Every structure is written in C-alpha cells, then in structure tokens.
C-alpha cells in the first residue's frame, strides 16, 4: 500500500482525482430499473457568470446531496447547464462594442447575434469550469444551454401552445421599464431600494379664481408637463368646491387641467391633492382610465425628456431634467418648498438604474395551473426546507398578476409571431390580433414568409428557464425524452436555490410542470421536484450582502488555492444553518482545512501503527474484530460511531447539513482522535491487543470517510485508496454506506454486544478529563504534567477511577491522582466522578478562584431556574413523554447537587 505522506497537498490530489472521476464516468446519470433514481437539476448560472460565494454554498449543497445519494445506492443524476441571460449577456457584448465606438444597430440583428454566440463560445463556460475545481460531480456530458436548438424548440412550442389555449395575449399596459437595458421588466425583476431624495411642494393656480392655489407633493417635477388632472378624494371637505374646476399646469406647454374626484387619493398624504400623470405612474394610469384622461408621455425609452416636456427640458436626462424643472418652478413662483424625503425606489435588477413606469405594447401570460400549484405545496407533494417559505409562496400565488413575458432585446428566444406586412402592429385591435390572416403564430412560421414580418421582441429569460426540469431531458420530443431518461428521473428529487427567486423561478417551474408533464396523471407525478431547499444569503461581518461593487466578497478560487476545495466546502457548510443568512468568516474556512489535516494525520497514524489486514470490504474488517478483547474504550468508540452515523442520517433527512458537519467534526476530532487514538497507544504496543485495536480503527475510519465523502470528496477518495478500503481501483462512491442500524447489526452478528455500563463509564472519564484540563488552564498550568490532584468521591465512582488511574493521569496531564477528604482552600472542580482538587493551594490566587467559583455558581442558578420553570409548566408536563420528564427531573437533581458542592467549595475558601 502506498505510504501516506507527511502533509496533505490538496491541489495535486484534487487534480488527480477529478480527472480520474471524469475518465471513469463516475458522474454519469444512468437509467437503471434495478435502482431508485435521485436527480437534481442545477439552477443554471448565467452564461456571463463567474463563481461567487453564493455559488459555492449552493453547489456544495447540491454536490453533498448527489454524492450521498450515490453512496446510498441510488442511480444519481446531477444535470448541469447555463442560462442565456438575455439582458445581461446582451449588455456585456454591447459594452464590448462600445469600446469600438459601435452599437448593435451598426451590425443589424443577425450579425449582432453572431457576435453574441462568438462571445458565448469563448467565455460562456467559465463558471462551469470553476465548479469543477469545487468538486461538483455533475454529469457534464448532459450539459444544457437554454439557447440550444432542442431547448429553444421546447420554449417556442410552449409559447404556441399557451397562445392557442388563450393564456398568452398582446396588450398595451403599464410596465416596469429599464432605461438602461431598453426593455420591459417583470415585477420580480425590480429591486426596491431605500433612497434619500427630495420631495417638492408645487402649487397650481385655479383658472376661475386667480390667486387661489392647490398644492401637491411630488418627487418627480420633471413629469409635470405630463400632468392631465389634479385628483382629490371625493369625501375631502377641503376641496368640495374645487371638484370640476380647472387649474393651470405650472410647467411645460400651457394647459388647463381639471380637478377630479377619485377614492384612490390618500387624504392624509401631503395636502390630500394628487397630480395625475397617467404615462408615468401606475396609480395615475388607473385613475386616468377611470376618468378617460389623455396620456402624455414626456420621456423617451432611454429616460431622456422629449418635446412634450417643453423646450426648456427637451433632450435632458431625467435626473438633470428634475433639477432644471425645480429651478423653472422656483423662478415662476410655483415651487413652495423642497424637503428631504426618504422613500423606496424601484431599480432594474439588471440595469442598476431606477425603473420607469411606461405604457407599452407587450406580450402577457395568464399563469396556468395556479390552484394546482397552491395544492402541490399546501398538501405536501412538494416540501420546502425551511417550511416557512411555503407561506411566502402561497401568499404570492394568492395575489398573482399576469406575467409580462416580452423583452425588447435581440439575444433570446424570438417570439414566434408574424404580422402581415403593411399593418401597424401598434394599432391592431384585439379582434385583429386574433385574426390568423393578420397575425400568424406557429413554430414553423408562415408558408409565405415574404409577406410577413416577425415580432422583434424576445421572451423573458425566465420564460425559458421555467421549463428547466424537463426541457433539459428531451421534452417534448418522445425519442429524445426516452434517450435522456425523462420518465425515469422526473420528477427530480431536490432543488437547491435561493429564496430570492422563489417567484422568478420556483413557482413558475411548478406551474410549468403541472401544465406540460404527464397530463391527466396525479399531481405527484407532474410536479418538477419533491423537495426545495432554500439557502441563506452570504453576508460580510457587517451584515451586508456580498457583492463585487462593495468589494466585500473573497474570490472563491483564491480560497480554494489557500485552503483546498475540501477546506472551503467543509468551512462554508459549517457556518450555514438551514435557511439562515450567513456571516462569512474566513477563519472558518481555515478550520475546514485544519480538519482535513487532522483527518490526514489520523489516517497516517493508522497506517504507521501496523500493517493493514483485509480492508477490502466492510465485512472483511468486521471479521477482524475480536469481541473478547474489547475494553471499555473500544465499546465506547463504536457506540459513538453508531450514534454519529444515526445523527448524520437524521440531518440528511431534515436537510440540516451544518448540523451534520458539526456532528462529524465533534466525533472525529474529540471522540476518535483526542480520546480513542490517545488511549489506544498502549494497546498498540501489546501483541495480544494490537490487531483488534487496528481493526476497530479501520472500522471507524472507513465509516467516517464514507460519512464525510459528500462534504469533502477529494481527501476522502485519496485516503480510501491509500488505506485500501475497497477493491483495487474502486472509487469510494461505489461503496455502500450502511446506516446506523445496519452497521450495528453487522457488528452484533460478529458476536459483539455493546457494554452500556462501560460506555457510560468512558463518558464520565471524558467528563473528568475535560473538567480537570479546564481547571489547569484556569490556573495557567495547561502544559504542566507534574500536577498532583486529590479527589473526593464515593466508593462506586472511585472504583471507576481506580481502574483507570494511569490512563486518566496521562489524558489529564497529572502526575498523580489520590483519593482523600476535601482539601480546604484548594482550587477544585466538580466532575461526573467526584470533586478534584489541585494540590497547589499555596501558589493559587484564592481571590481569583473565588471569582471563578462564583461565576460558575451564578450560571448554574440560571440553569436550575430554567429547569424548574419547565417542570412547573403544566403544558410541558402534560404533553412531554415520560422519558423526557424523567430526564428533566434527573437533570434538576444533578444541577442541585452540583450547586451544593460548588457552594461548599466557595465557602471553604473563606
């Protein structure tokens, strides 16, 4: 067997094993009727993306799940791919063109799209390569792209199908408009930001009563030229005699506008009067429709003011125009005041600029299967982790609005609609839009294309990715579906994503699956996934979301270089409790590396301790166990191994990955390395106990490597190979991971029954060592091994101590442990096996010892009060199982006994 080197060189090992896994097709998702499927589709990162800490967390969790599934015997598929990211990708390419002082219009649509494809081919796969460095075990042969021909065919066929079912229509409505990207956005693509700005108080003079004014408040004086009315509440007595009168618009082309009454006006805001600008505000637009008001749009698509704004403002950017408008209003005497004002402003998620409400023609989708989508989650067919997100999901579906699915960009799935030449599509009536002689909708296009013009708009990116769970596996082509194993792998098992796209993506995928997959079958057969795990957001130590713009996010590749991929994976999971936001700490990533080093060194110690027997199978290792030679520590380590396996099993069922990591860390570092390996050194020197001790270490290490493999795959694969825990050339993923019950049964079949008394005794001895080491540390004696202890204890506990004095002294760093009565004035600590005193009273600071004991007493008083409160709570006592009640009562008795002993020690110090 090759020797385990002194140090763990992560970079070399990661390269070696990833190449070996790829060559052996270890990640291939295979249809296997003899096994249950387990499938995950990756949330496709944008083709423009590079690896972020959010990607690290999300994809590490996916990899943990898929690697665990392989160990449990599932036929596992993790399907990768990227999203074409219409707006974002077009923006990147256009930015490159601007360096050449060109725009997309200089090239025309077809040539520009060629440029985008060139960019995608050259740079579009960067993030997938970076995921390989993280250890992502995707089936790369199945990599998908939302603009691939077969995927595009699926997207467009869905459009045609929904159009024919009446779910898709074209309409002129108020939308969120991005002046930077020059496209409409859905509500979910608008990010609300708190902004400290200015609110302007502006007065409008009454036409029939010069000198009388009505005052409004606005944050957007540049839109006043688009005002067509002033609205007041019909029940506001202040304006009873104003309704029906007219006022002069104080900015822009001269106009007289009416005072109207509408119940939508908030009487409590400002003066209770609202300027109505239907082209630039959604509420104003609705009011305008009710009152049949004109619509005056004073802004161009790029946010510049147009001729309707008047000659003083025309051509100015909207923000410059705002300042200029305020100046003009001030000069005319119409500006009453400017006041600081904090409010929330909608920003384009992609363009990073404030959006504009804009009235435009767009394509809209009435969501299908809304009620079934509610039932899928409400009735438990799809489970959310954490469950609280189900309420957010259901609330959104209760208030769902039609989806604006068209975007005014070139990169994307061009809408399969053609208009008869000579028609002005902006003026088509609903009847004409439904007339196939005027508007043609199909996949193939019209038979006489020379007489038609295709729609310029493309579909929203999310209108392609909502098909991701099944379009990536060949849908809707029957032959391709069979080849890709859609019927076998769908529904997928688990989706891992962020809660920020629960509406963008999760809800829409559920509706798409219910609409298009297996019509007529039960919900559980049509849903796209059975579980959804929502990750938290990674933040810096100040609580800010990590981002490039803030410069507060480390480069994951630099972290991999510094700490190894396994160190990064282990560290990030250790600080990521289920569904909670994460405060990033690089020292926890370093702890991940340290744990890997500990695992490496412990495995090296095992190899150096003696020749390996037959380690090729679990059964072979168990056959080497010699139950007659087991001592208490042997029983205890197997008990802890079974308990840790059981806890990790529970954590996976509950999607508590951080808790699993913590359980494995505690077991391996504390129970195995710090205790069992140390107490076993003497047994390794004795001929009659060495072989059994090595077999136990092999059993523990083998099971630990299997439990750890999903979290830290590279180092576990290397050690699995070096320690011979499998047939030559076999990968760790080919092994079967036994659960706690299976493992315990196999050990029991060897003739071993765990000695519960021995296990309990070892746990008490560990408690003694922990407490005694802490006492030494409190007195700056941690490294001293010449310290003498006295112990006051009962006969039964002394029997346990006396049987283990040599071991206990070595583990605690004591020269001697002697039984005697209480030692007045000596520093002491209460342990599970008696009160231990330091034989250093003359050199110990009695004052400091009194402070320490008082602090411990105060903490214990709080614990006692909490336990007493629980036992006094009738609801707890009536509902708790008898075992829990008995445990609480026993805990209270132990706490009170310890309190009495600490009080005695404190009193003895005077």
Other CB atoms within 10 Å distance of the CB of residue 557: 15
Q: What is the pTM of this model?
A: 0.85
Give tens-digit pLDDT for 522-574.
999 999 999 999 999 899 888 888 876 677 889 999 999 999 999 999 999 99
What distance lies between CA 403 and its chain's CA centroid? 25
699/694 Cα distance (integer angstroms): 9
Residue 646 contacts by C-beta under 8 Å, 6 or more apart in sequence? 739, 740
Whats the size of the chain, residue-wise? 910
> What is residue 910's predicted lDDT score, i.e. its pLDDT?
63
CA distances from 569 to 9, 78, 534, 565 (A): 16, 18, 18, 6
Distance between first and last Cα of the chain? 63
Angle at 623 between CA 620 and CA 624, to 5 degrees: 95
Q: What are phi and psi of 525, to 5 degrees?
A: -90, -15
432/437 Cα distance (integer angstroms): 9
Give tens-digit pLDDT for 635-657.
999 999 999 999 999 999 999 99
Residues facing residue 834 across a β-bridge? 831
> What is residue 441's predicted lDDT score, i.e. its pLDDT?
96
Closest by CA to 892, choosing from 857, 861, 852, is 861
CA distances from 721 to 513, 539, 716 (A): 43, 38, 8
> What is residue 854's predicted lDDT score, i.e. its pLDDT?
87
Other CB atoms within 10 Å distance of the CB of residue 593: 20
Mean pLDDT of the chain: 93
> What is residue 356's predicted lDDT score, i.e. its pLDDT?
93
| Alpha-helix residue ranges (DSSP H) falling in 610-674 | 618-623, 632-654, 657-665
For residues 903 and 828, the answer to whether their CB atoms sit within 8 Å is: no
Q: What are phi and psi of 524, to 5 degrees?
A: -65, -15
Closest by CA to 17, choosing from 561, 604, 713, is 713
CA distances from 220 to 201, 298, 658, 760, 851 (A): 11, 12, 49, 74, 65
* Strand order, beta sheet including 529-534: 383-385, 529-534, 492-497
Other CB atoms within 10 Å distance of the CB of residue 1: 11
Give tens-digit pLDDT for 12-58.
999 999 999 999 999 999 999 999 999 999 999 999 888 999 999 99
Residue 138 contacts by C-beta under 8 Å, 6 or more apart in sequence? 27, 42, 78, 79, 80, 131
3-state DSSP assignment of residue 288: helix
Residues facing residue 707 across a β-bridge? none
> What is residue 466's predicted lDDT score, i.e. its pLDDT?
98
For residues 748 and 791, the answer to whether their CB atoms sit within 8 Å is: no
Locate 612 and state its tokens: 């390996």
DSSP code of residue 506: I
Name the burial class of residue 886, with classes exposed (0-12), middle (13-18) and buried (19+) by CB atoms within 10 angstroms of its CB.
Answer: exposed
Q: What are phi and psi of 340, to 5 degrees?
A: -60, 145
CA distances from 559 to 10, 420, 553, 576 (A): 12, 58, 11, 17
Q: Which parts of the chain sit beneath pLDDT 50?
A: 842-843
The most distant pair of C-alpha atoms in the chain lies apart, rounded to whole Å, by 114
């Amino acid at each position: 067997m090759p020797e385990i080197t002194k140090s763990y060189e992560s970079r070399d090992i990661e390269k070696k094993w990833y190449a070996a896994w790829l060559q052996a097709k270890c990640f291939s998702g295979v249809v296997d009727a003899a096994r249950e499927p387990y499938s995950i589709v990756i949330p496709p990162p944008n083709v423009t993306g590079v690896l972020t800490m959010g990607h690290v967390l999300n994809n590490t969790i996916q990899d943990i799940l898929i690697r665990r599934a392989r160990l449990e015997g599932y036929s596992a598929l993790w399907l990768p791919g990227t999203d074409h990211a219409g707006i974002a990708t077009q923006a990147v390419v256009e930015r490159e063109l601007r360096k050449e002082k060109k725009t997309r219009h200089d090239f025309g649509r077809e040539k520009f799209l060629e440029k985008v494809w060139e960019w995608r081919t050259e740079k579009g796969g960067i993030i997938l390569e970076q995921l390989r460095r993280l250890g992502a075990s995707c089936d790369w042969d199945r990599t998908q792209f939302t603009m691939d021909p077969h995927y595009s065919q699926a997207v467009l066929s869905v459009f045609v199908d929904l159009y024919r079912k009446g779910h898709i229509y074209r309409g002129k409505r108020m939308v969120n408009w991005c002046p930077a990207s020059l496209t409409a956005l859905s509500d979910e693509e608008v990010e609300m930001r708190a902004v400290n700005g200015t609110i302007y108080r502006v007065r409008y003079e009454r036409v029939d009563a010069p000198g009388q004014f009505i005052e409004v408040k606005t944050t957007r004086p540049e839109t006043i030229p688009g005002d067509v009315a002033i609205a007041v509440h019909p029940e506001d007595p202040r304006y009873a005699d104003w309704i029906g009168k007219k006022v002069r618009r104080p900015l822009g082309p001269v106009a007289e506008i009416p005072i109207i009454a509408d119940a939508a006006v908030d009487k409590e805001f400002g003066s209770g009067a609202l300027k109505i600008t239907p082209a630039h505000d959604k509420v104003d637009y609705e009011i305008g429709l009710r009152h049949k008001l004109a619509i005056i749009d004073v802004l161009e698509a790029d946010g510049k003011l147009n001729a309707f704004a008047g000659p003083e403002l025309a051509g100015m950017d909207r923000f410059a125009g705002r300042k200029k408008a305020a100046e003009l209003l001030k000069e005319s005497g119409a500006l009453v005041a400017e006041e600081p004002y904090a409010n929330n402003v909608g920003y384009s998620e992609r363009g990073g600029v404030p959006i504009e409400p804009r009235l435009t023609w767009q394509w809209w989708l009435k969501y299908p299967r809304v009620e079934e989508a509610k039932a899928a989650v409400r009735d438990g067919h799809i489970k959310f982790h954490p469950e609280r997100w189900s309420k957010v999901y259901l609330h959104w579906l209760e208030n769902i609005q039609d989806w604006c699915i068209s975007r005014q960009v070139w990169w994307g799935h061009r809408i399969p609609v053609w208009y008869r030449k000579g028609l002005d599509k902006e003026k088509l009536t609903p009847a004409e839009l439904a007339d196939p002689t005027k508007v043609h909708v199909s996949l193939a296009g019209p038979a006489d294309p020379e007489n038609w013009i295709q729609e310029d708009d493309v579909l929203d990116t999310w209108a392609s990715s909502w098909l991701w769970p099944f379009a990536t596996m060949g849908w809707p082509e029957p032959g391709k579906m069979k080849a890709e194993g859609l019927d076998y792998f769908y529904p997928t098992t688990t989706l891992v994503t962020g809660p920020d796209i629960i509406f963008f993506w999760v809800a829409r995928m559920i509706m798409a699956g219910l609409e298009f997959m297996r019509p007529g079958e039960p919900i559980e057969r049509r849903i796209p996934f059975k579980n959804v795990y929502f990750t938290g957001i990674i933040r810096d130590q100040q609580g800010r979301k990590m981002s490039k713009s803030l410069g507060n996010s480390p480069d994951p590749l630099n972290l991999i270089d510094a700490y190894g991929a396994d160190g990064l994976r282990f560290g990030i999971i250790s600080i990521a409790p289920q569904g909670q936001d994460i405060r990033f700490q690089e020292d926890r990533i370093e702890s991940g590396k340290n744990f890997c080093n500990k695992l490496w060194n412990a495995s090296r110690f095992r190899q150096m301790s003696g020749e390996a027997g037959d380690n090729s199978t679990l059964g072979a290792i168990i056959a080497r166990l010699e139950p007659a030679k087991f001592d208490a520590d042997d029983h205890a380590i197997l008990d802890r191994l079974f308990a840790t396996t059981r806890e990790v099993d529970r954590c996976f069922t509950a999607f508590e990955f951080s808790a699993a990591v913590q359980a494995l860390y505690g077991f391996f570092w504390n129970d195995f390395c710090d205790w069992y390996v140390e107490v076993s050194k003497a047994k390794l020197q004795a001929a009659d106990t060495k072989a059994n001790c090595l077999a136990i270490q092999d059993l523990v290490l083998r099971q630990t490597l299997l439990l750890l493999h999903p979290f830290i795959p590279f180092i576990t694969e290397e050690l699995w190979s070096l320690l011979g825990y499998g047939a030559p050339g076999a990968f760790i993923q080919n092994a079967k991971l036994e659960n706690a019950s299976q493992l315990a049964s196999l050990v029991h079949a060897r003739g071993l029954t765990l000695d519960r008394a021995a296990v309990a005794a070892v746990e008490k001895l560990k408690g003694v060592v922990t407490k005694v080491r802490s006492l030494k540390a409190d007195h700056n004696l941690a490294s001293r091994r010449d310290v003498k202890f006295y112990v006051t204890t009962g006969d039964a506990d002394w029997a346990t101590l006396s049987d283990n004095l040599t071991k206990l002294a070595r583990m605690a760093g004591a020269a001697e442990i002697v039984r005697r009565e209480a030692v007045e004035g000596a520093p002491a600590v209460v342990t599970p096996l008696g009160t231990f005193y330091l034989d250093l009273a003359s050199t110990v600071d009695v004052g400091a010892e009194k402070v320490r004991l008082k602090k411990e007493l105060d903490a214990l008083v709080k614990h006692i009060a909490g336990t007493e409160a629980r036992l006094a709570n009738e609801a707890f006592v009536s509902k708790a199982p008898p075992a829990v009640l008995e445990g609480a009562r026993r805990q209270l008795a132990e706490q009170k006994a310890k309190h009495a002993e600490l009080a005695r020690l404190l009193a003895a110090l005077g």
